[in-house]
A = this chain, B = another copy of it.
């Protein structure tokens, strides 16, 4: 009755373009994998759930009295003091920080989301590493931002192909994402390589999002250099969080550190980040209450134990896989991963890395993520956070698998002699 023009004739509720554009390759590949593990072998997951077996007692146990004391007088405040704690923890003479330079987020994922949201409009583009963490593309595409990939070079310990970066920048480039240390590569950039990256950004006038969630998770023979400490003129948003170094990904506390000594971001980007972070309030106050204790009182042995397990697994896994004909692992220097090249010409039974890793589950009950999850074909990623015995067992199963499927490639007789 009455005015009917606007009325809809029947139900039709369709998901938005944003939700249709939201695509997570890890979910798509892992959730669509229909393969069953070999029932005669216990399952070894080197794919996701990476922190399963690392010991986080040192973070968690000493927390309890502080946490409970804090719970009792718990309030909603704490946002400012948390930002002060993070600012003073990451303050560096070359890259000073105050509370106003810190934005608290729900994990490093939200930190990256807010950085993209403030820097890029739909239709602009961002430069991301390949192989790289899939979330960059997932977030950007759901926001209508185009993704251009630059290559990491395995033969140069996964350094960035900087010529290519320079050729990819155009008028619509909103930012360059640099992930160091790297997921999935486990690589750590040298100071001089970082300086070259900064020189490109400075020349091209492109701001950087530095995903440094694995910051300080480097083996003793490498050094982690926070990107912002090496430049006074490139504006940098550094993203981090408690998830990796403190092994508590479920606690969802992350941050953005705003480095802008030349005032290129200026108040506008800063205010933009603040406004965006207030749409959905950030991290849980319980974790904020524990933050000071986590940052100040975590014993050195905790970091040391984590890194020495990772380093010894990295060596062990690299050594074992390097000896397997058909595989070409790249030695990692940090984080919790190792990438392994598959010489596909020697495994003609398998169409690609996805099939290779599926068959590895079916036959050997060892699960690794195919390089396709990181947009890098003919590789797979190994998570090295499992206990040593399991790492060894996994490597010997991978060896058995490769031996069973290895074929000499035509015209490369020498290879087969090894």
Interface residues of A (CB under 8 A from B): 2-3, 5-20, 22-24, 27, 49, 51-52, 56-57, 60-61, 63-64, 67-68, 71-72, 74-76, 78, 106-107, 109-110, 113, 117-121, 135, 138-139, 142-143, 166-171, 173, 203-207, 235, 248-253, 262, 264-266, 268-269, 271-273, 275-276, 278-288
Contact = CB atoms under 8 A, between A and B. Distances in A.
Given A10-B205, A276-B19, A281 B252 contact: yes
Contact of A67 (B12, B17, B71): B71
B6 A272 contact: no
Q: Which of A9, A173, A205, A250 has the most CB of B within 10 A?
A: A250
Contacts of A61: 72
Contacts of A166: 2-3
A305 to B, nearest CB: 18
A23 B271 CA distance: 11
A414 B205 CA distance: 71
User: Could you say how many copies of this chain the assembly holds?
Assistant: 2
7 contacts: A8-B173, A9-B205, A18-B143, A22-B275, A27-B275, A60-B71, A251-B284
A353 to B, nearest CB: 23
Contacts of A265: 13
A176 to B, nearest CB: 12
A110 to B, nearest CB: 5
Contact of A8 (B60, B109, B206, B285): B206
Given A22-B279, A106-B106, 6 more contacts: A11-B264, A13-B264, A16-B120, A24-B279, A52-B75, A138-B279
A74 B61 CA distance: 11
Contact of A287 (B142, B169, B280, B286): B286
Contacts of A139: 279
Nearest to A12: B205
A203 B235 CA distance: 53
A18 B121 contact: yes
Contacts of A109: 279-281
Contacts of A250: 74-76, 78, 284-286, 288
A18 B106 contact: no
Contacts of A57: 72
